[in-house]
Amino acid sequence: MKAIEIQEFGGSSVLESTDNEVPEPGSGEVRIAVEAAGINFADIMQRRGHYQGGPEPPYVPGMEAAGTIDAVGDGVNREIGERVVAMSEETYAEYVTANEAALFDIPESMSFAEAAGFPVQFLTAHNTLFERGGLEEGERMLIHAAAGGVGTAATQLASEAGAKVFGTASTQEKLDLAERLGVDHTINYTETDFAEEVNERTDDEGVDLVLDGIGGDTTAQSLDCLAHFGRMVSYGAASGQPGTPDTSTLLFNNYTVYGYHLGQSMQRDPERVLSAVPHLTELLTNGNLEVVVGETFPLDAAADAHEYIEDRESSGKVVLEP
């Protein structure tokens, strides 16, 4: 089968097309003929060698894939031909194995490309907003990169929950998308100080919750626009640098900063993570949520897809199609 492999850490050029053996499902697993594989920024951080606990070369990247079941292992209560999306490993390939517990049925109305944008983005968004962030109706919140993969998911979920949403992005096109999905106050962070903008629009009261997947200076700036007793959830470091909040700022403002890592959560307490699935599936099936697919690339153009994301050209989910 065709797969993408990383032999050494580095730039996008280290993503190479290879021929690998088709994997066989073990006990409790299925094999999926992949129709679409989602790309996450974590894949890029891993490729660069900047991801704590990430895989060591050589390895096949990827965390999620959608397709049809074409083989089942012992003890699996699934049928060949079922349309599913899975959280797994080594998904930049034509075939992938996945644990039955990490499978989600794909609604008939949803394409494989859309399904490939569901697990990581929507589970991360749901659990940072509600399980960690404790978002409640009527609260104000700030979502960074609101037109990105997690951002588009979080925007819709927060808006559906009755929050007032502030969202940042780098272009007017991305801001227009964020506004269409439910952002009430859009901010172009390349043209203005987002913290000053948030404080001005809230009469210096700030927001109750911030989702920070950027890290670096953005973390400290985000604290500058939190309301007293506000919360921030850190779920990534797309800037390449971890955030370093000033503990005296936390102390005197009674702030709470949470961390969230989907992969570690799945390893340690999968039931806690997957408890969000029924709610998400209902919203997706009813058409109340939309998986935004920004661009698709052939599997052997994985390097181009990574560059597209790194150049900040992407909106929504970027997907590979074998």
What domain count does the chain have? 2
Same-domain check for residues 86 and 163: no
- What's the start-to-end Cα distance of the chain, in Å? 10
Residues 255 and 299 in one domain: no
56 and 182 belong to one structural domain: no
pLDDT for res 313: 82
Same domain, residue pair 143 and 89: no
Q: Please report whether residue 174 resides in a domain.
A: yes
pLDDT band at 315 (very low <50, low <70, confident <90, very high): confident
Residue 102 confidence (pLDDT) above 90: no
Does residue 136 lie in a domain region?
yes
109 plus 169 within the same structural domain: no
CATH code: domain of residue 136: 3.40.50.720
CATH number reported for the structural domain that contains residue 103 in this entry: 3.90.180.10
Q: Specify which residues 233 forms β-bridges with.
A: 211, 258
When the pLDDT of each residue in the chain is averaged and rounded to a whole number, the result is 94
98: in domain: yes
Instruction: Assess if residue 87 is contained within a domain.
Output: yes
Q: Do 313 and 220 share a domain, yes or no?
A: no
Question: Using CA atoms, how far apart are residues 272 and 184, in angstroms rounded to an integer?
Answer: 30
- Are 217 and 295 members of one domain? no
168 and 94 fall within a common domain: no
**Residue 247 placed within a domain:** yes
pTM over 0.85: yes
In a domain, 274, yes or no: no
Its domain, for residue 148, covers 121-263
Q: Do 49 and 147 have their domain in common?
A: no
Same domain, 77 and 136: no
Helices (H), 22-137: 41-48, 112-115, 119-126
Are the C-beta atoms of 84 and 69 separated by less than 8 Å?
A: yes
pLDDT in tens, 138-176: 999 999 999 999 999 999 999 999 999 999 999 999 999
